[in-house]
């Protein structure tokens, strides 16, 4: 364990911890923009600057040394951080009111912390390049004028989803997050998992349909056997969004496109809520008991007339391992090995 | 092993003797990029044709840049038993005359000659190496440039080349490092890091592979020192790299050369092939069992890729982004994660000489803290621009007034800019300063990799700062906020100041920005980008203030702050300005003083140049009142 003194407070941290982690442990806030606990560090935003043993370092990357003395609020630190945030705002969209992240925005949080004020901003030349948002993806859109180039989306796509659909393109002030060939997102490798969206610290990535829930209900995604933990966001009696449940050990909050965005069926008018049996050429709603009896009768009949091997079962990827196990047991018990799975078809 | 080299050397000398017939005149044509750009290739062709036509025998040789770029195309003639006579500004027509008069006959044409080198030249032309240009110079790194045929390895060997390598291969690795340390050699890539220490920290780590990289990215605007060395003396760099490979235990080296240097790349390729042929490169070098391969990697020309970690990323096929601290040292984990030695072209090229002549010799040149020489690309408002090499410690003044021949058109000196976009501007009262790594840094500029731009009274200092900021703004890699956003912000403010939109508080704003960019940026590009602004504010704050407060550009450069006006008293109605104006903004007829319509005028300045000097009726005015009067269309009121 290393002993570190931060603003006069002593804290012990593991060897290899960063200054940021040490400060976190000591309960001291250090502003960050490009840091994300799920991801490797980047070091580009430079707002986490602190003084460590007399030198200005980025807290998110600098490892602590034993006996290190850290100061997070010297005049020099304050000035550098403030100017940095002012510079980010200089080419940032001006209108927070129209932004999906108003009030939950990391840039707003950091701006308030470093002390952005109107008098100083008046000296700043503002220039926001008017770029049209990319609304090609049906689930979420990208507004480049609200992007702070923290690279969190890029690292997420690379490290969490392993797809690497996006990367930095162009250079200097003209740098932007882009897919290969600077095409719309829909024409890329992007799988629309939305992992980047949930980590974006600003309103640069935003839901195509804004959705703030009244209440949350914990559940499990029914799309596949992975069984990711989810939180359903509910308004009235409608499910309006799905978030990954970070406390769930199966997926630790990560979701795929189906789990995150494919919830429209829940409240869809076409959704079947009862089994249907075709009577006189028309599907008629019925009870589960009647439906199951009907199936058992038909299957027994087929088996009796043509033998067990004229039966076969196709299981679903939406079932769990256990369910699939039971399913094949069932068919073997009926006397056939004809069991298959939708993922093979 | 030394015997093996002795044999190679002997063979080289013999081959040269056979190739070279010293009984006939030798003609050298400066065919580096500077020469070629001024037409050297057609001069070579003309000389060849002429010789053929006259059926006269002479050796013609394409050599590198000797540094007198102001005088290109340069043709030198050495006749048996005569000193080398230099001709400047040679065109194909002049070339024919030279061949006719001096090569074939005996008239050395003092009207065309620039001068001669060495002893015993004709009295009616100047001795160049004793004149202002050369007497203050000392050629160490450039000693072969413009003197040997860079495409012939034998010429390099004949001038002592590859002996340093042969000697190094007999030495212990630690001893080579010892010599480098004793020599005090500091890296010529800009930062001046001690080379011996760098090599040592690359020797230490154990690894199955290590790499040597020569940084030939040379991205500073106006800098061409490294290019000249590669074009004029490629073997010296190759030799230095082989020695480095042997010293640190590496078998593979890379040249990182920008693709805009095709001639340098061609010459390097050829030189590598020749060195291999002679067993000075490749497998089992000189029978010692030491193997070393060299590969050329062409960079795409991003300035930031000259930064060591970005350069490594670029060779690895990644985006050329510098790695933020904390990061492993390149000498321990560089290219492909292996220990890597990265030095500048000039650093490598001087190593062989240090090894063959000794650390003491090198220490004897330059200053205590910065031994050796400095190579500069001297440009700007100066009479003799070009590539120069001076001992460290020389005064700035000597470079500008003696070597450079003073300010163009006898105008007043204002400042000298060194270190390119990372450096700063120094005013007249700093001209006594010694040129070395530490002194320049202390004064707010830096050595950099060797650009030196001379600025005179007709140059606006705010505009100069803007020029450099525009460069760093364009070249910022975009990774970190202070540099990506900060250079843009500074540039916007400078644009505003130059265009009459400066605001009160802008100077303080610039100073604050500069401070935050220097402290906050990831790499040297951002960390030095504010220097041109900060140093011009430090020494020329009054010019900034004049722009901001009075809308006055004292140097009469910033277009938005000047107006063109014709003085009615002086105007003789000659009509020259009227005819010359490209937008027909000037009205007037015979005997009626001419007038400029300010609405139409684009401030191109042509009328100002056209008005005959004896009238000097067209004037440039600046300042709030003049601008306001011009806007009202009543400039004559003021
Ligand atoms: C933005 C930037 C550009 C650079 N460009 C060059 C270059 O073109 N050539 C060079 O030799 N060094 C350049 N350097 C310096 C290199 O990072 C490195 O220090 C140098 O190549 C080391 O060689 P030396 O020790 O021989 O000087 C640059 C540095 C920075 C920060
Ligand atoms: S991302 Fe949105 S909320 Fe955040 S600062 Fe920008 S505009 Fe405002
Ligand atoms: S949605 Fe998923 S796949 Fe698409 S860019 Fe974001 S992280 Fe990558
Ligand atoms: S889109 Fe969001 S996460 Fe991606 S770089 Fe921009 S601000 Fe960062
Ligand atoms: S469909 Fe996607 S989100 Fe749902 S359980 Fe499977 S992997 Fe998880
Ligand atoms: S200082 Fe500039 S060039 Fe260097 S890493 Fe930062 S943005 Fe890139
Ligand atoms: S400055 Fe150019 S445009 Fe203006 S009057 Fe003179 S010649 Fe015409
Ligand atoms: S949070 Fe540390 S550099 Fe961005």
Confidence class for position B611, pLDDT limits 50, 70, 90 = very high
CATH ID of A140-207, from 3.40.50.20, 3.40.1380.20, 3.30.70.20, 3.40.1280.10: 3.30.70.20
Which of B67, B63, B217, B245 is closest to B141 using CA atoms? B67
The b/e string for A230-255 (b: 16+ C-beta within 10 A; e otherwise) is: bbbbbeeeebbbbbbbeebeebebbb
Q: Are B428 and B494 contained in the same domain?
A: no
pLDDT higher than threshold 80 for residue B37: yes
Alpha carbon A133 to its chain's center: 20
Q: Which ligand number lies closest to the CA of residue B255? A: 1
| Domain stop point among B424, B456, B488 | B456
Mutation target among B516, B518, B522 for the A interface, most CBs of A within 10 A: B516
Assign domain A215-261 to its CATH superfamily.
ADC-like domains (2.20.25.90)
**How does DSSP classify residue B322?**
P
> Can you state the angle between helices B234-248 and B345-357, rounded to 10 degrees?
80
Residue B297, classified by CB atoms within 10 Å of its CB into exposed (0-12), middle (13-18) or buried (19+), is: middle
List where CATH 3.30.70.20 sits in chain A. 140-207
d(CA A343, CA A321): 13
| Domain stop point among B413, B431, B456 | B456
Confidence class for position B126, pLDDT limits 50, 70, 90 = confident
**Chain B contact set for A123 (CB, 8 A):** 503, 505-506, 509
- Helix ranges (H only) for chain A are 19-25, 75-90, 106-114, 118-121, 152-155, 195-199, 257-261, 288-306, 321-333
Q: Are B532 and B402 contained in the same domain?
A: no
Q: What angle do CA B175, B176, B179 make, to 5 degrees?
A: 85
The residue with tokens 């100047």 is: B126
pLDDT value of position A345: 67
Q: Which of B110-114, B285-289, B347-351 has the lowest mean pLDDT?
A: B110-114
For residue A93, the ligand 2 atom closest to its alpha carbon is: 7
d(CA A301, CA A286): 21
Q: Which residues lie closer than 8 Å to B31 by C-beta, 6 or more apart? A: B40, B41, B44, B62, B63, B64
The residue with tokens 């330059």 is: B366
CATH number of the domain where residue B254 is located: 3.40.50.11540
For residue A196, the ligand 4 atom closest to its alpha carbon is: 3
- Check whether the bond before A160 is cis (ω within 30° of 0): no
Q: Are B507 and B600 contained in the same domain?
A: no
Q: Are B594 and B622 contained in the same domain?
A: yes
Q: Which of A164, A167, A194 to mutate to test the pocket of ligand 3 (most atoms within 8 A of CB)?
A: A194
Q: Which of A89, A150, A166, A170 to mutate to test the pocket of ligand 4 (most atoms within 8 A of CB)?
A: A150
CATH number of the domain where residue B474 is located: 1.20.1440.230
The whole-angstrom distance between B276's CA and the closest CA on chain A is 39
pLDDT value of position A181: 94
Q: What is the pLDDT of residues B457-506, one digit of tens each?
A: 999 999 999 999 999 999 999 999 999 999 999 999 999 999 999 999 99
CATH number of the domain where residue B569 is located: 3.30.70.20
Q: Are B214 and B348 contained in the same domain?
A: yes
- Number of separate domains in chain B: 5
pLDDT value of position B123: 85
> Residues near ligand 7 with C-beta < 6 Å?
B 564, 580-581, 583, 585-586, 596, 601-607
Work out whether strand B211-216 and strand B252-258 pair parallel, antiparallel, or are unpaired: parallel
- Across the interface, of B326, B473, B519, the residue whose CB is closest to A62 is B326
State the average pLDDT over residues B380-402: 94
Q: Give the three-class secondary structure for B14.
A: helix
List where CATH 3.10.20.740 sits in chain A. 2-121
Q: Are B333 and B249 contained in the same domain?
A: yes
Tokens at residue A77, please?
């630190």
A51: closest chain B residue by CA: B519
**Chain B contact set for A47 (CB, 8 A):** 481
pLDDT higher than threshold 70 for residue B111: yes
Query: Is position B566 within any domain?
Result: yes
Q: Which residue has the higher pLDDT, B38 or A19?
A: A19
d(CA B343, CA B179): 17
Record: fold of A2-121: Ubiquitin-like (UB roll) (3.10.20)
pLDDT value of position B635: 61
d(CA B240, CA B482): 38
Greatest CA separation for chain A: 90
Query: Is position B1 within any domain?
Result: no
| Residue with CA nearest ligand 4 atom 2 | A200
pLDDT value of position B381: 95
| Residue with CA nearest ligand 2 atom 6 | A146
Tens of each residue's pLDDT in chain A, 345 residues:
999 999 999 999 999 999 999 999 999 999 999 999 999 999 999 999 999 999 999 999 999 999 999 999 999 999 999 999 999 999 999 999 999 999 999 999 999 999 999 999 999 999 998 889 999 999 999 999 999 999 999 999 999 999 999 999 999 999 999 999 999 999 999 999 999 999 999 999 999 999 999 999 999 998 888 899 999 999 999 999 999 999 999 999 999 999 999 999 999 999 999 999 999 999 999 999 999 999 999 999 999 999 999 999 999 888 888 999 999 999 999 999 999 988 776
- Cβ of residue B215 lying under 6 Å from some atom of ligand 1: yes
- Check whether the bond before B608 is cis (ω within 30° of 0): no
Q: Are B165 and B308 contained in the same domain?
A: yes
pLDDT value of position B638: 46
pLDDT value of position A320: 84
Q: Are B420 and B475 contained in the same domain?
A: no
CATH number of the domain where residue B68 is located: 3.40.30.10
| Domain stop point among B456, B479, B497 | B456
d(CA B159, CA B352): 12
The whole-angstrom distance between A64's CA and the closest CA on chain B is 11
Q: Are B410 and B377 contained in the same domain?
A: yes
**Chain B contact set for A55 (CB, 8 A):** none
Four-point Cα dihedral A43, B518, A89, B479, nearest 10: -40
Mutation target among A173, A180, A201 for the B interface, most CBs of B within 10 A: A173
d(CA B215, CA B310): 11
Q: Are B388 and B278 contained in the same domain?
A: no
Q: Are B207 and B235 contained in the same domain?
A: yes
Work out whether strand B211-216 and strand B340-344 pair parallel, antiparallel, or are unpaired: parallel
pLDDT value of position B146: 87
Q: Which domain holds residue B504?
A: 461-550
List where CATH 2.20.25.90 sits in chain A. 215-261
- Across the interface, of B325, B474, B482, the residue whose CB is closest to A84 is B482
**Chain A contact set for B219 (CB, 8 A):** none
Q: Are B110 and B37 contained in the same domain?
A: yes
Tokens at residue B611, please?
């008005």
Query: Is position B486 within any domain?
Result: yes
pLDDT higher than threshold 80 for residue B634: no
């Amino acid at each position: 364990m290393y002993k570190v003194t931060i603003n006069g407070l002593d804290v012990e941290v593991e060897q290899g911890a960063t200054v940021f982690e040490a400060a976190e442990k000591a309960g001291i806030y250090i502003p960050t923009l490009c840091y994300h606990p799920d991801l490797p560090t980047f070091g580009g935003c430079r707002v986490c600057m602190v003084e460590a043993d007399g030198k200005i370092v980025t807290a998110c990357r600098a490892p602590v040394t034993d006996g290190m003395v850290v100061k997070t609020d010297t005049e020099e630190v304050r000035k550098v951080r403030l100017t940095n945030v002012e510079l980010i705002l200089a080419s940032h969209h001006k209108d927070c009111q129209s932004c999906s992240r108003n009030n939950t925005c990391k840039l707003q949080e950091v701006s308030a912390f470093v002390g952005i004020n109107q008098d100083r901003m008046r000296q700043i030349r503002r220039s926001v390049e008017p770029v049209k948002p990319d609304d090609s993806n049906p689930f979420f859109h990208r507004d480049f004028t609200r992007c702070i180039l923290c690279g969190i989306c890029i690292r997420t796509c690379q490290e969490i989803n392993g797809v690497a659909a996006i990367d930095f393109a162009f250079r200097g002030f003209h740098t932007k997050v882009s897919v290969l060939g600077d095409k719309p997102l829909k024409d890329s490798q992007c799988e629309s998992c939305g992992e980047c969206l949930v980590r974006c610290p600003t309103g640069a990535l935003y839901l195509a349909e804004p959705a703030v829930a009244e209440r949350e209900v914990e559940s499990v995604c029914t799309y596949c056997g992975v069984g990711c933990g989810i939180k359903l966001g509910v308004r009235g009696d409608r499910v309006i969004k799905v978030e990954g449940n970070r406390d769930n050990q199966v997926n630790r909050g990560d979701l795929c496109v189906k789990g995150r965005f494919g919830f429209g069926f829940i409240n869809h008018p076409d959704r079947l809520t009862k089994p249907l049996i075709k009577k006189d050429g028309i599907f008629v709603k019925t009870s589960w008991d009647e439906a199951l009896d009907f199936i058992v009768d038909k299957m027994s009949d087929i088996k009796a007339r043509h033998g067990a091997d004229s039966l076969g079962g196709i299981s679903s990827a939406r079932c769990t391992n256990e369910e699939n196990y039971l399913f094949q047991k069932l068919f073997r018990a009926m006397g056939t090995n004809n069991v298959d799975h939708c993922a093979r078809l | 092993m030394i015997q093996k080299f002795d044999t190679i050397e002997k063979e080289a000398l013999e081959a040269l003797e056979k190739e070279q017939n010293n009984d006939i005149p030798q003609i050298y044509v400066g065919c580096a990029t500077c020469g070629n750009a001024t037409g050297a290739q057609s001069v070579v062709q003309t000389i060849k044709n002429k010789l053929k036509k006259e059926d006269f025998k002479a050796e013609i040789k394409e050599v590198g840049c000797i540094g007198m770029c102001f005088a290109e195309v340069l043709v030198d003639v050495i006749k048996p038993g005569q000193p080398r006579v230099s001709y400047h500004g040679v065109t194909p027509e002049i070339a024919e005359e030279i061949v006719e008069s001096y090569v074939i006959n005996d008239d050395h044409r003092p009207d065309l000659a620039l001068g001669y080198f060495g002893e015993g030249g004709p009295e009616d032309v100047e001795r160049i190496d004793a004149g202002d240009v050369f007497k203050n110079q000392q050629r160490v790194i450039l000693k072969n440039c413009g003197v040997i045929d860079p495409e012939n390895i034998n010429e390099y060997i004949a001038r002592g080349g590859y002996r340093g390598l042969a000697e190094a291969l007999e030495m212990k690795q630690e001893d080579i490092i010892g010599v480098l340390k004793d020599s005090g050699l500091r890296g010529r890539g800009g930062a001046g890091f001690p080379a011996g220490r760098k090599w040592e920290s690359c020797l230490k780590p154990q690894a199955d592979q290590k790499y040597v990289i020569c940084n030939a990215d040379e991205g500073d605007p106006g800098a061409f020192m490294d290019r000249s060395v590669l074009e004029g003396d490629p073997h010296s760099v190759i030799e230095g790299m082989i020695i480095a490979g042997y010293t640190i235990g590496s078998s593979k080296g890379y040249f990182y050369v920008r693709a805009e240097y095709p001639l340098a790349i061609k010459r390097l390729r050829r030189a590598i092939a020749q060195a291999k042929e002679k067993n000075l490169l490749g497998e089992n070098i000189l029978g010692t069992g030491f193997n070393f391969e060299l590969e050329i990697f062409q960079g795409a020309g991003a300035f930031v890729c000259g930064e060591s970690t970005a350069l490594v990323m670029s060779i690895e096929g990644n985006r050329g982004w510098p790695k933020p601290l904390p990061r492993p040292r390149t000498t321990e984990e560089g290219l492909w994660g292996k220990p890597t030695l990265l030095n500048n072209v000039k650093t490598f090229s001087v190593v062989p000489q240090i090894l063959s002549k000794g650390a003491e010799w090198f220490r004897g040149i330059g200053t205590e803290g910065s031994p050796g020489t400095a190579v500069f690309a001297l440009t700007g408002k100066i009479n003799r621009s070009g590539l120069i090499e001076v001992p460290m410690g020389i005064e700035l003044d000597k470079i500008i007034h003696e070597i450079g021949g003073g300010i163009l058109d006898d105008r007043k000196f204002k400042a000298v800019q060194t270190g390119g976009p990372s450096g700063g501007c120094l005013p007249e009262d700093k001209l006594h300063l010694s040129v070395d790594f530490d002194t320049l840094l202390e004064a707010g500029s830096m050595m950099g990799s060797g650009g030196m731009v001379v600025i005179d009274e007709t140059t606006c200092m705010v505009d100069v700062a803007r020029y450099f900021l525009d460069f760093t703004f364009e070249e910022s890699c975009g990774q970190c906020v202070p540099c990506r956003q900060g250079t843009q912000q500074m540039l916007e403010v400078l644009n505003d100041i130059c265009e009459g939109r400066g605001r009160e508080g802008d100077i303080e704003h610039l100073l604050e920005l500069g401070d935050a960019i220097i402290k906050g940026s990831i790499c040297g590009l951002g960390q030095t980008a504010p220097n041109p602004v900060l140093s011009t504010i430090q020494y020329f704050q009054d010019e900034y203030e004049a722009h901001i407060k009075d809308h006055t550009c004292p140097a009469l450069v910033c277009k938005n702050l000047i107006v063109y006006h014709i003085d009615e008293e002086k105007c003789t109605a000659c009509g020259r300005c009227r005819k010359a104006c490209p937008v027909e903004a000037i009205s007037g007829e015979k005997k009626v003083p001419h007038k400029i319509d300010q609405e139409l005028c684009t401030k191109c300045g042509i009328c100002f140049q056209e008005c005959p000097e004896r009238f000097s009726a067209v004037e440039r005015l600046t300042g709030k009142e003049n601008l306001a009067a011009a806007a009202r269309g009543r400039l004559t009121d003021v």
